[in-house]
Structure 1
Amino acid sequence: MKDKTIDYILRATWQAVSRMYNEEASKYGATMATGFALLSIDKDKGTPSTSLGPKMGMEATSLTRTLKSMEEKGLIIRKKNPEDGRGVLIYLTEFGKEKRDLSKKTVLKFNESVKQTISEEKLQHFIEVAEKINELIQDKNIFNYTENPEKESTNIK
């Protein structure tokens, strides 16, 4: 991936990871989004539906479709939040907990495979770089133009 832009490398890598997880999940009639949702829902206390989207980095419409599908498959149930009658808590069913364990094993297997191939030092550098990129984006330190942005040039080759 020499001479590729950083964003290209990130996107291509994420697409490969996403494709891998979706291929694995399809063996069980699921998707990566379903597995991620299963892992994001507190298995004992449930999770407010309003906090699930931000936790997963998912848009509301995509999350709504995913949750509807999960409910139809018997993975989750929705209950009114006893502390806030307007809110809804998402709980895993027993079947959902079984599938959550499967999702967890899948993620841990991926992590273990990477750790067996890449040194601890390189992984630590990767994590530090990813955290720094996230920080730059969250702090809006990338596109904070002081002049007219059209005057800025890009040198992408």
Structure 2
Amino acid sequence: MKAEKTVDYHIKTAWYAISRMYNSNASKADMSMAVGYVLLNIDKNGTPATKIAPLLGLEPRSLTRMLKTLEEKGWIRRETDRTDKRVVNVFLTEEGKKKRDFARQGVLEFNDIIYQRVGEEKLQVFFDVMKEIQRLVDAENASLRAE
């Protein structure tokens, strides 16, 4: 079977192109796509560091390095939870909020372009197909863990 006929080829190549586009845009603000996604997933009331990695599919060690860098740049601050000293919450600084807004704007602009050019009806079909693929992958992973 040719690569162009496989589902994963199209998902992978599209994501690679999107990733390059986001990284190119993010570099204008001294960021990367991964940093933008981390900033977008930090709640205004703080987010436990342990919740960020699973949201983004990052390895905990990668996230730890990234959070250290973001803290050194002054984009985030970490605080130990007052009620549970085992939990470290991550907060955006004012500069971090500006960077998050930059990332959010990039995501919104890309989505606007896609909605305008592809159309809502086709996108709904795409979303339905992607959800089904995710369900199949999750079911396959569950059956592999059960073995």
2:105 matched residue in structure 1: 105
In the other structure, the counterpart of 1:47 is 47
Distance 2:55 2:82 in 1: 21
Partner of 2:60: 60
Distance 1:97 1:79 in 2: 17
Question: Residue deviations 1:63-97, cap 9 Å, x none?
Answer: 11211111111110000011210110000001111
Corresponding position of 1:84: 84
Residue of structure 2 in register with 1:12 after alignment:
13
Structure 1, 135-144 or 95-104: larger mean CA deviation: 135-144
Q: CA RMSD in A?
A: 1.8
Q: How many residues align?
A: 143
Counterpart Cα distance in 2 of 1:8 and 1:64: 31
Distance in 2, matches of 1:128 and 1:83, equals 41
The match for 1:152 is none
- 8 Å contact 2:49–2:90 — kept in the other structure? yes
Q: Percent identity?
A: 47
Is the Cα–Cα contact under 8 Å of residues 79 and 88 in structure 2 kept in the other structure? yes
1:93-132 Cα offsets, whole Å, 9 max, x none, are 0111111111111100000010110021110000001111
Which runs of 5 or more residues in structure 1 are unaligned?
145-157
CA distance in 2: counterparts of 1:139 and 1:108, whole angstroms: 32
Residue in 1 that maps onto 2:69:
69
CA distance in 2 between counterparts of 1:132 and 1:83 reads 40
Whole-angstrom CA distance in 2 between matches of 1:141 and 1:101: 35
Aligned AA (2:87)? G
Q: 1:68 to 1:83 in 2, by over 3 A?
A: same
Distance, in Å, in 2 between the alignment partners of 1:129 and 1:83 is 43
User: In the TM superposition, what whole-angstrom CA distance separates every residue of 1:11-67 from its partner, at most 9, and x where no partner exists?
Assistant: 111111111101111111111111000100002x10000111111111112111211
- As a proportion of its length, which structure holds more helix? 2
Separation of aligned partners in 1, 2:83 and 2:139: 34
Quick one: which amino acid aligns to residue 38 of structure 1? Answer: L
